[in-house]
Every structure is written in C-alpha cells, then in structure tokens.
Amino acid sequence: MRRMVTKMLVLTLALGLCACKGSSGPDAGAGGESPGGGDQPGNVSEAPAKAGDDGEVSLTIGTWSEVANTAAWLLRSGQDKAEWVWTIYEPLFTVGEDGEVVPYLAKELVTNAEDKTYTVILREDVMFSDGSKLDGDVLLWNFENFKENSTMSSTHFGSVDHFEKTGDNTVVIHMKDWSSQIPYSLCSVAGLMYSKKAFDENGYDYCTQNAVGTGPYLLENWEMDASKEFRLREDYWNKEKQAQV
C-alpha cells in the first residue's frame, strides 16, 4: 500500500516542464514551447513543489519504472522522460501544438534538402548546471557522442553521414540520405544536451550516475526503484520561466 501511494504521488513540477498539454507542454517564456513534446506520454500527475526552511525549492518524483543510468545519450524513450528527465535535460527543439518544430535550446534550424544538410544554430545564453556553456563545441560533441554510443543512434541518426562545426554556436548535420525525421529527432532524445565539461573531467561512468543538463533542477538523491529528489537551480538560464515558480 505504501509503495502504491508513492507511485501515485508521482510528479511535482513548479516550472511546468513535464506537464503535457496535448502533444506538447505549456508555454515556456524565453524558450518558446516548454520541453515535453514529441514522444513524452501524458500519464503523470502534478503537485506543487515545496520550499524548505532555507528557501530552496525541492521536488520529489516517485518511480513508475527505473532507468539504469542518467546519461542523456543513453536514454531511450518517452517512458524515461515522463518521470524525471525534463527536470534535468532540455531538447534543442520541441513539438508545438500543431506539430511544428519550435526552437528551445537552439534558436534556428536551417533545412537544405538539396545539399542534404540541417544547420542547428544555438541560443547564446544557455548554461549547464555545472556552469559550463552550451556552444558549438559542446553541441558537436553531443551529436557525435549520441551517434557513436546511443542505442537509439540508428533510429535518430542512421541517415547522418557526419557533423561539422561551422561557427561558435553552429553545427551542420550532413546527411547520407535525406530524412525529414531529423527535426523531430532533435525534439527527442537525440536533442537532449549533456555537459561536455562533466564528461571530460569525470569520465563515462560518472555520467551514467550523475545527470548534468541545462534544465531547471539538480538531481540530489536517487533511491533506486523508489524516488528521485531534486533541487531548483538558482542559476537556471531561462529566467523568465524561473520567475513563475
């Protein structure tokens, strides 16, 4: 009975980043659509986040099903995302209510079917929870790492030939064969960004147990098969959305 109660009190999201509204989340202010579109299921319930005695806002999420690790490139599906992922990670783009691709961490996606390229242009104000910046080098690393190490690589990047950084905040995706699915892959797990600094300084194994993303919360405690506890970031980049807490 106690375990059932824990599972029913599943989700607390002061920022509204996990809540579904149709196929997409609520408005996110500075970033356009809130993360949560694409393949995220809508079977979660909400309760308000709580502020502790020290004024910090915390969040506890009960576990419906467990993941083996927290590295963004090893997440597989919307089932992973429904429980906790959108508190830590955010995608480059989201899916709007009418099915259109909406910029979020990226500010533009340039499509060139004739040249078989997609060009991703990042916002310039996005920071990871470890203080590092999301720029072209980090985006290139995330793309290459996902293609090489993700079990979902063939699904999302199977038609990709290579990636090329062409500016401080710009990466071009070169296709072997043209695919109109790429923009939607960038709304899903292929578009989730992990801190390159955290990977470089701590290694692969660290990343599988420590989520370091651009999202509004920090993962503070992970009780396997029970719950995850989070703390609201004071330095979250999306100040307009954070002001709604």
Predicted local confidence at residue 74, as pLDDT: 82
Predicted local confidence at residue 113, as pLDDT: 97
The tens place of each residue's pLDDT in the chain, 245 residues long, gives: 333 332 323 333 333 333 333 333 333 434 444 454 444 333 333 334 554 444 455 555 555 555 567 788 888 755 454 556 778 899 999 999 999 999 999 999 999 999 999 999 999 999 999 999 999 999 999 999 999 999 999 999 999 999 999 999 999 999 999 999 999 999 999 999 999 999 999 999 999 888 899 999 887 766 665 667 788 898 999 977 655 55
Predicted local confidence at residue 224, as pLDDT: 61
Longest dimension (CA), the chain: 59
Q: Was domain 2-242 assigned CATH 3.40.190.10?
A: yes
Q: Residue 218: is it exposed, middle or buried by C-beta count within 10 angstroms (0-12/13-18/19+)? A: buried
Predicted local confidence at residue 65, as pLDDT: 52
